[in-house]
Structure 1
Amino acid sequence: MTTLHEELNRIGHQMLSRRVRAAEAVAWQALNITPLKDETAEQILARIRFSAERNHPELIIRFEHSRQDIYRLAEDCGCDPDSEGYGDDHCESEEGGEYLCGRQHLGTVCGNCETEDGPSWRPDRYEWPCPTVAKLDGVEVTR
């Protein structure tokens, strides 16, 4: 008899396996595509994207709606700049210009979806998973 835990693990493994196979297929195509005569890099990328959107739309949607971790600004975090490990836990954001505190993770939002009623720490974004990704996962998002 299969337990609920085992069944959930099996389903999760199947979902992950499908995503990995789709990602491998898109990567294989990108690495093995042959440029057409006088085709620009932009045109090659458009062909790769068209194929990926057609053959693996869920993969593209997940990529576009990727999760983004939100951290408190270092200037507002209250950490002691002279404390041990301060330099390891405080760094510039990937976008640049903002210095963040890695000790204070506020949450995770969708890097794409915009809203006007998000969490107080990022009111312009949906919390992860956003409605688009939740729909792919078969999860109901309540607001």
Structure 2
Amino acid sequence: MATEYRFYSALRLAVRLVKKWFPEYALIGRFARNFYAPPETTLDADFLVNLDDHEKLKKILEYASARFQVSPMDIGHWKYKLYIKSFRFDLVKPKGYNYDPEVVARRRHVKLGPINEVAILSPRGPSRTLPSLVPRQRSKRPCKGKRHSRILKGEGRL
């Protein structure tokens, strides 16, 4: 229970920090995917932010480095790691990804325990989606065999 409390406390600090300089952030990656699909383990939480805004990026790096471990410290990377209470939070903007109003519109606000509200990028919407958030789709080719046809009709088990 202590680890869960530490994680929520660290996540609350990370959300406040990111929201202060990048109010149009969105959580992505496996952490966000767990809201839409069966849960999977992850070692970090990824914040999609517009890292092309160098002024805001410089300010957040200066502010965060005085309080937490931050790497790298120079401008121009696509990923920055923040370590808060031994948990890792990444600020990312994948190369070639357009952070535009359509992305902002796809955010969903979710109440997450004691953190209040976090913005999570929805896998639905315009065709430009992040592959790490959208679950892979299975092939729709027809199954052959009696066992598979029974399962499709709801008569059997996998």
The two structures share one fold, judged by TM-score above 0.5: no
* Greater helix content: 1
**Bigger Rg, structure 1 or 2:** 1
TM, length-normalised to structure 2: 0.26
TM, length-normalised to structure 1: 0.28
Q: Which has the higher contact order (CA 8 A, sep 6+)?
A: 2
